Amino acid sequence: MGLITIDLYCYSTLFIISIILLIKQLTRSSQKSSTTSCKLPPGPWQLPIIGSLHHLLTVNGGSLPHHKLAQLAKAHGPLMHLKLGQFSTIVVSSREVAKEIFKSHDVCVADRPSIASADAVTYGAKEVIFGRYGDNWRQLKKICVLELLSQKRVQSFRSIRENEVFNLMLTIQNHYSSSSPVNITEELYSLANNVITRAVIGDRCKNQKRFLEVVEEVVELVTGFDLADLFPSLTWLTWLAGNTRKIRKNQRELDEFLDAILRDHEEERHTETDKDLVDVLLRIKDEDACGDLHSPLTREGIKAVMFDILAAGSDTSWNVMEWAMSELMKNPEVMKKVQSELREVLQGKTKVTEEDLSGLKYLKLVIKETLRMHPPLTLLLPRECREAFELMGYHIPVGTRVLVNAWALARDPEYWDEPLVFKPERFEGSGINYNGHCFEFIPFGAGRRMCPGMAFGLATIEFALAQLLYHFDWKLPNGLQPQDLDMSESFGVTARRTSSLLLQAIPRIPCSSI
Ligand code: HEM
């Protein structure tokens, strides 16, 4: 779900592409692009073939696309036009432009671009994340919102969260006994993966470890608008990069896993109760005997949705928990305040349940502030314009890609006091929430394509952080000081930490099984 991954080695490839495309362009010089006569938004200067791509390249590969785009927006404005490879793209970097686009033109930008690698692994985008806007997508989104990820369903997975978080507490306790630091990055990754996997497929997967590896490998391959995705007409480039082969191989393996899981569920469904999300999907498929669904839910459709939820649900939650722990280590006074709240509210309880969380106001502010400074999907997910429209006096033609720099919006000094300081108090009584209407803060997106998994994600994040901070005190290992903690981020599926977070845990309140 990330975007542009471009490294130095790309320069030479870009040069070759430029030559080939230049020849193509010269031979077609009589054909005029329909967009050239339109008044497009301003943007940085473009090269004839590669467009604006060179503006995103850096000599040392240091700056990330959302950082670069934020810098460019300072020079060219909050509505900026770039040509990324073969695609005309607008980049939104202000609250006002985001509001205009999501409030007045959301339906025009409700499509996702067609990305060959994503289509391959999602059975032709027969799902929610990459699905083209239309009846099939609307039906699946409704199933997601009302059935798979509703508040009630999220509640029903409470015992999974309680059980997995308890296992995490035991693992950390064991690290203390062996006096080795905890690799909190790895532990939170496993936690997020286990919770989502059990919710989607239950405990019924043979060789679950390999299954999750395949899901991760596939996600990494489809994330990027790498060169092959940016120049889709150059099929040889995809071949050269080896992407097609890798994707085909992974897709086959992924499909075998998903198919076996689905078959097991089909064979074992004797009860009326849905044990996991695959059961829910099978029930909806069976109920279609009444013909309620606009288009029947197929086996492929179910497998595509299973992949969607596994892919979207794990890295995002993991990422937020990891950054929250990092920011708390960097800001000891915030750590002290959140731990005092937890210990005051929970009053020595050794068994913490989700019901105990309602009084944890400051913890919720800490999570909000983490999502402000570190939205996992820094540029949301790319949209594509399906109907031309006018925006701020500019013409936005059909087919234009739309990127919203949520990371830049949440760090803009025009909307935020001391935006680079981790200050959860800023949200106290502010009325700024996650609902996609406060456009300076949209970590879950906005409009029709907004995230349907917010309740699911927040439930895991809140419960895990509460327990980590309540049962243990935390120290940086080897005498490292908070100001020395490396907070650099790398661009991938989500904007994660570059280095793993290693911490020393000191048990404070004993933890017993629920
Ligand atoms: C803190 C955790 C999460 C964050 C910050 C997050 C953020 C996002 C964002 C920014 C988008 C794109 C919205 C847009 O294009 O406007 C998105 C889409 C999506 N997310 Fe999440 N997400 C999180 C957790 C989850 C979870 C746990 C699930 C599922 C269990 C999930 C499922 C989805 C799906 C299916 C979409 C595609 C929606 C569509 O295209 O209509 N997300 N998410």
pLDDT digits (tens, 9 = 90+) for 417-451: 999 999 999 999 999 999 999 999 999 999 999 99
For residue 129, give both structure tokens.
């994340």
The H or E element that residue 389 is part of is strand 389-391
CB distance 320 to 374 below 8 Å: yes
Q: Which of 408, 410, 384, 414 lies closest to 397 in space, CA to CA?
A: 384
Share of the chain above pLDDT 90, in %: 66
Q: Note the pTM of the prediction, 2 decimals.
A: 0.91
* Residue 197, C-beta contacts closer than 8 angstroms, at least 6 positions apart: 205, 208, 211, 212, 310, 314
Q: What pLDDT, on a 0 to 100 scale, did the predictor assign at position 430?
A: 94
Across the range 160-184, mean pLDDT stands at 91
Higher per-residue confidence, 138 vs 203: 138
Answer whether 457 contacts ligand 1 (Cβ < 6 A).
yes
- Written as one letter, the residue type at 54 is H
CA angle 265, 268, 272 (to 5 degrees): 95
* Alpha carbon distance 247, 118 (integer Å): 9
Closest Cα to residue 316, out of 440, 213, 457, 214? 457
Give the per-residue pLDDT at 120. Answer: 83
Looking at the chain, the whole-number percentage of residues with pLDDT higher than 70 is 88
Shortest-distance atom of ligand 1 to CA 131:
40
**Is the CB of residue 409 below 6 angstroms from any atom belonging to ligand 1?**
no
pLDDT at 16 over 70: no
Token digits of residue 254: 């992924």
The pLDDT of residue 5 is 45
Tell me the mean pLDDT in the region 185-193.
95
What pLDDT, on the 0 to 100 scale, is given for residue 32?
42
Here the tokens at position 87 are 């695609």
What's residue 514's pLDDT? 59
- Report the SS3 class of residue 337: helix
**In which band, very low, low, confident or very high, does the pLDDT at 36 lie, cut at 50, 70 and 90?**
very low
Tens digits of per-residue pLDDT, 347-402? 989 988 999 888 899 999 999 999 999 999 999 999 999 999 999 999 999 999 99
- Average pLDDT of 91-113? 97
Token representation of residue 274: 């849905």
* Closest ligand 1 atom to 196 CA: 30
Q: Which pLDDT score, from 0 to 100, does residue 12 have?
A: 57
> What's the CA gap between 357 and 409, in Å, rounded?
30
Dump strand ranges (E) for 111-190.
182-183
Give the separation between CA 98 and CA 96, rounded to whole angstroms: 5
> Is residue 374 lining ligand 1, measured as CB closer than 6 Å?
no
148 C-alpha to center of ligand 1: Å?
13
Mean pLDDT of all residues belonging to the chain? 88
Provide the CA 175 distance to its chain's centre, in angstroms.
30
From 281, 403, 451, mutation site for ligand 1 pocket: most ligand atoms within 8 A of C-beta: 451
- Listed residue (128, 111, 496) closest to 309, CA to CA: 128
Judged against a pLDDT cut of 90, whether residue 453 lies above it is answered with: yes
Confidence of residue 291 (pLDDT cuts 50, 70, 90): low
Q: What was the pLDDT predicted at 452?
A: 98
Higher confidence at residue 55 or residue 444? Answer: 444
* Ligand 1 atom closest to Cα of residue 449: 41
Contact (CB, 8 A) for 375 and 410:
yes
**91 has pLDDT over 80:** yes
ipTM score of the complex?
0.99
| pLDDT tens string 262-271 | 999 998 876 6
Please indicate whether residue 366, judged by its CB atom, sits closer than 6 Å to ligand 1: no
Q: Is the pLDDT of residue 479 over 60?
A: yes
The residue-averaged pLDDT of 323-334 equals 98
Under a CB-based contact definition with an 8 Å cutoff, are residues 81 and 69 in contact?
no
SS3 92: strand
Distance (Å) from CA 319 to ligand 1 centroid: 13
Which atom of ligand 1 is nearest to 447's Cα? 16
More confident residue, 12 or 459: 459
Higher pLDDT, 174 or 455: 455
**319-341: average pLDDT:** 98
For residues 156 and 198, give the distance between their C-alpha atoms in angstroms, rounded to a whole number: 12
Which of 105, 444, 449 best tests ligand 1's pocket when mutated (most atoms within 8 Å of CB)? Answer: 444
Instruction: Please give the Cα distance from 375 to 446 (Å, whole number).
Output: 13
Element (H, E) at 495: strand 495-497
Q: Is any ligand 1 atom within 6 A of the Cβ of residue 424?
A: no
